Amino acid sequence: MLVGALFLLSGAILLAANYLLVQANLPTPISFAGERTSADGSVRVTVLQPLQDYRDATLTTLLVQSSAALALAAALAVLLGRVVAGRVLRPVKQITAAARRLSIDNLERHRLAMSGKRDELTELADTFDDMLDRLSDAFDSQRRFVANASHELRTPLAIQHTMIEVALTRPGMSAEFTDLGQRLLAMNARSERLIEGLLVLAMSDRGLSAERPVRLDDVVRQVVQAHRADADHAGVALHADLEPAVVSGDVLLLEQMVANLVQNAIRHNHRGGEVWLRVDATSSLTVENTGAVVPEEALASLTEPFRRVAVDRTASDQGVGLGLSIVASVVAAHGGALETHARPGGGLTVVTRLG
């Protein structure tokens, strides 16, 4: 439309200039008025009106025919402008499509590598690829740091745990010292869970190194059985409705994902509460639990690391704030989608779609 409008504007200016030039160069009626001598005497010959009609007809014909030609040329310009604009802007569409496909997990796979004539658009595509390379290197560096730091911290934590346990076994320990030792053990255990969570998060953020068919319903069934005692101790009832479903992925990461969902559902619940787990044939896992009311505005931040919103979440000494972050990372590594919904009566509904 822009090309057609510019062509129409320039054509209208050209038509107006042509009209004025032709009008200025046509003969004027006054130059053809004069006298002619005949045998009978002097006779004045007047040709003013016929010449005026000729001028008007000529200018009208010029205006009509030129306008029709201009309209046809403008329509052709719009058509050709559409074709040319589509070809010229095709690299921009490729860049836009690539940007929409990007995420932390696929930065290494998407590059434009645009070839052809070197112009502004190919330069933009090269700049875009360079930016992706820098982002990929930055994320890889961050993941390596988390993984290495977590590995390095596991050994001193294990040594601290052993030393505290040995100290508590000495005879004659006072009640205050024993209580302090138990608190130190609890803090040490929480730090160990934090380190393990960071390791799982770093591993899932790197994506899947190998995939194989996994029965999601079997994984959920095993996790539920493993956490049945914890649920009974917390006074929470576990309910499982599992249909056969096969997904392609890493069985260890899937087990960690389900375990985190079940642990969260039990931990952020109340005595006498319930947890429902459902797996359907579309490889969708739904975990729903009772508990405190979760504000709608807090749902978006639940999958961020170290974010807990409810009072009981903040006060709990059991969680480390990585549960749903690990779940979101594992789901993303499997190419799935994660949804969180607040239950009207309190609690949370988490849906993972892996199929």
- The pLDDT tens digits for 176-204 are 888 888 888 888 877 777 677 666 666 66
340, two tokens: 């969180």
Domain of 192 in residue numbering reads as 143-204
* Residue 221 and residue 268 in one domain: yes
* Residue 194 and residue 227 in one domain: no
* Residue 173 and residue 279 in one domain: no
Q: What is the largest CA-CA distance in the chain?
A: 160
Q: Which residues of 117-145 are buried (b: 16+ CB within 10 A; e: fewer)?
A: eeeebeeebeebbeebeeebeebeeebee
74, two tokens: 């403008």
* Residue 20 and residue 81 in one domain: yes
* Residue 242 and residue 320 in one domain: yes
* Residue 325 and residue 230 in one domain: yes
CATH number for the domain harbouring residue 296 = 3.30.565.10
Residue 216 maps to a domain: yes
Verdict on whether the full-model pTM lies above 0.85 = no
Residue 111 maps to a domain: no
Give yes or no for a contact between 314 and 273, defined as CB atoms under 8 angstroms apart. Answer: no
* Residue 333 and residue 215 in one domain: yes
* Residue 165 and residue 46 in one domain: no
> Higher confidence at residue 118 or residue 283?
283
Residue 112 maps to a domain: no
Strand partners, 215: 246
Residue 108 maps to a domain: no
* Residue 235 and residue 343 in one domain: yes
Give the pLDDT of residue 113.
73
State the average pLDDT for the chain. 79
* Residue 21 and residue 36 in one domain: yes
Residue 178 maps to a domain: yes
* Residue 200 and residue 219 in one domain: no
Residue 282 maps to a domain: yes
pLDDT-derived band at 76, boundaries 50, 70, 90: confident
pLDDT-derived band at 325, boundaries 50, 70, 90: confident
The domain tally of the chain equals 3
* Residue 197 and residue 173 in one domain: yes
Give the pLDDT of residue 42.
54
Task: Please count the CA atoms within 13 angstroms of the CA of 228 that sit on its side-chain side.
Answer: 8
> Among residues 204, 229, 253, which one ends one of the domains?
204
Distance CA 180, CA 160 (A): 14
pLDDT-derived band at 332, boundaries 50, 70, 90: confident
> Among residues 178, 204, 230, which one ends one of the domains?
204
Residue 60 maps to a domain: yes
